Amino acid sequence: MSGSTFGKIFRVTTWGESHGKAIGAVVDGCPAGLSLSGEDIQKFLDRRKPGQSRYTTARKEGDCVEILSGIFEGKTTGTPISLLVPNQDQRSRDYGNIAVSYRPGHADYTLDAKYGFRDYRGGGRSSGRETIGRVAAGAIAHKILEEMGISFCTYTRSIGPVSIETFRKEAISQNPLYMPDPTAAQKASDYLEQCMKNQDSAGGVIECKIQGVPAGIGETVFDKLDANLAKAVMSIGAVKAVEIGDGVQTALSTGSVNNDNFYVRNNVVHKSSNHAGGILGGMSDGSEILVRATVKPTSSISQPQDTINNQKENISLKVTGRHDPVIVPRAVVVVESMCALTILDLMLENMSARMDSILSFYHPQK
């Protein structure tokens, strides 16, 4: 299966299936000399691991990362970093009924249409577990960006019809839904309880705010920062829309309102607003970057659904196995990781954009 590699300079290849022996990633292109430990990666993986609340799959996985290569005496060596997370709590028998039938809303039908054969156990490669490799690699990208003064704030903006109305950063880690508004988090929990009672699932919206990215990151044509962010975030299973800044709302605005006016204070360029979400012409403009991801309701629900089997017969299917009643909270760190991978890769690419940058690297004395 191709298409498992992301990035040009900081290249990440994810590998592994939901019910295989292990899952992970290979990161090639990480600069030498970065202090990196298992804990740096583990704290990211812990944000997405299952079983943290009743709103995530009951699958019990420690998701403990093992670093197999690329680190010596606590520092990266510039060689490929291989990351492995064992799968521990597979129950493949639960997936027997999807071996020959197609879950509505999942990748079973399209995988069979493409390959004529698939690892149906837990969704194989199209399982949410594939995102472990992205998060492990994203933790490394995040660490490099942190050293460059770039920071992320990622959280759940809404679940079903419940949206945040206030923003308290410290509240994000204080509820299992990662909402910065405790009242909204309670209302969203009530909504999820109702969905679960109806053997149903919910969707929602994740927001990622990135601060400290200098102006000029991203290319002007095909490798625009917003285009690459959209591809990166849209490649996460169940993400159905990506917005930058005011996104779809800009259609309702006017030029005079939507334009962010520039001004200079103490020789520093500022904008009076940020409808653009920090990106102009495909390049960062130095202000906060805002990425928003819309996540659909989990397709694997246990109420009976009309579908077909691989003999082209109409059937009714009750999906068994353990599934997230809502994907949003576990996908928060996945969105952050994909944004970190995108920005770091474009920042590394940007180092060769100007003659003066090249000269100052190779001839600093000139």
Ligand X SMILES: Cc1cc2nc3c(=O)[nH]c(=O)nc-3n(C[C@H](O)[C@H](O)[C@H](O)COP(=O)(O)O)c2cc1C
Residue of the chain from 16, 70, 128, 277 that contacts ligand X (CB under 6 A): 128
Residue of the chain from 334, 340, 341, 346 that contacts ligand X (CB under 6 A): 334
Residues 292-311 that bind ligand X (CB under 6 A): 296, 298-300
As given in the structure block, the two tokens for residue 116 are 């004529």
Residues 177-196 that bind ligand X (CB under 6 A): none
Cα 114 from chain centroid (whole Å): 25
Q: How far is the CB of 138 from ligand X (least distance, A)?
A: 13
Task: Pick the closer one to ligand X by CB: 108 or 285.
Answer: 108
Q: Which residues of 174-212 are buried (b: 16+ CB within 10 A; e: fewer)?
A: ebbbbbbbeebbebbbebbeebbeeeebbbbbbbbbbee
Cα 102 from chain centroid (whole Å): 26
The stretch near ligand X (CB under 6 A) out of 25-33, 126-134, 172-180, 347-355 is 126-134
- Does position 341 interact with ligand X (CB under 6 A)? The reply is no
- Does position 107 interact with ligand X (CB under 6 A)? The reply is yes
Q: How far is the CB of 54 from ligand X (least distance, A)?
A: 14
Residue of the chain from 142, 323, 343, 346 that contacts ligand X (CB under 6 A): 323
Beta-carbon neighbour count of residue 79 at 10 Å?
Answer: 13
Q: How far is the CB of 250 from ligand X (least distance, A)?
A: 25
- Does position 237 interact with ligand X (CB under 6 A)? The reply is yes
Helix (H, G, I), strand (E, B) or coil at 293: strand
The stretch near ligand X (CB under 6 A) out of 182-190, 233-241, 251-259, 339-347 is 233-241
Sign of CA dihedral 217, 274, 156, 304: negative
Q: Distance (Å, rounded) from C-alpha 83 to C-alpha 38?
A: 10
Residues 131-170 that bind ligand X (CB under 6 A): 131
Task: Pick the closer one to ligand X by CB: 78 or 203.
Answer: 203
Residue recorded with tokens 């020959």? 100
What sections of the chain are H helices per DSSP? 38-48, 108-115, 131-147, 182-197, 225-234, 255-258, 328-350, 355-362
Q: Give the residue at shortest CB distance from ligand X.
A: 128
Answer yes or no: are the C-beta atoms of 324 and 128 closer than 8 Å.
yes
- Does position 330 interact with ligand X (CB under 6 A)? The reply is yes
Q: Distance (Å, rounded) from C-alpha 299 to C-alpha 362?
A: 53
- Does position 324 interact with ligand X (CB under 6 A)? The reply is yes
Return the closest-CA partner of residue 328 out of 166, 139, 154.
154
Return the closest-CA partner of residue 87 out of 147, 20, 33, 31.
20
The stretch near ligand X (CB under 6 A) out of 32-40, 82-90, 127-135, 156-164 is 127-135
The stretch near ligand X (CB under 6 A) out of 137-145, 175-183, 278-286, 325-333 is 325-333
Q: Distance (Å, rounded) from C-alpha 360 to C-alpha 366?
A: 7
Q: Distance (Å, rounded) from C-alpha 227 to C-alpha 31?
A: 25
Task: Pick the closer one to ligand X by CB: 10 or 102.
Answer: 102
Q: How far is the CB of 106 from ligand X (least distance, A)?
A: 5
- The site that binds ligand X (CB under 6 A) totals a number of residues, namely 21
Task: Pick the closer one to ligand X by CB: 210 or 332.
Answer: 332
Residues 30-89 that bind ligand X (CB under 6 A): 48, 57
Answer yes or no: are the C-beta atoms of 110 and 237 closer than 8 Å.
no
The stretch near ligand X (CB under 6 A) out of 31-39, 81-89, 122-130, 215-223 is 122-130
Answer yes or no: are the C-beta atoms of 159 and 204 closer than 8 Å.
yes
Q: How far is the CB of 236 from ligand X (least distance, A)?
A: 5
- Does position 126 interact with ligand X (CB under 6 A)? The reply is yes
Contact positions vs ligand X (CB under 6 A): 48, 57, 106-107, 126-128, 131, 236-238, 296, 298-300, 323-324, 327, 330-331, 334
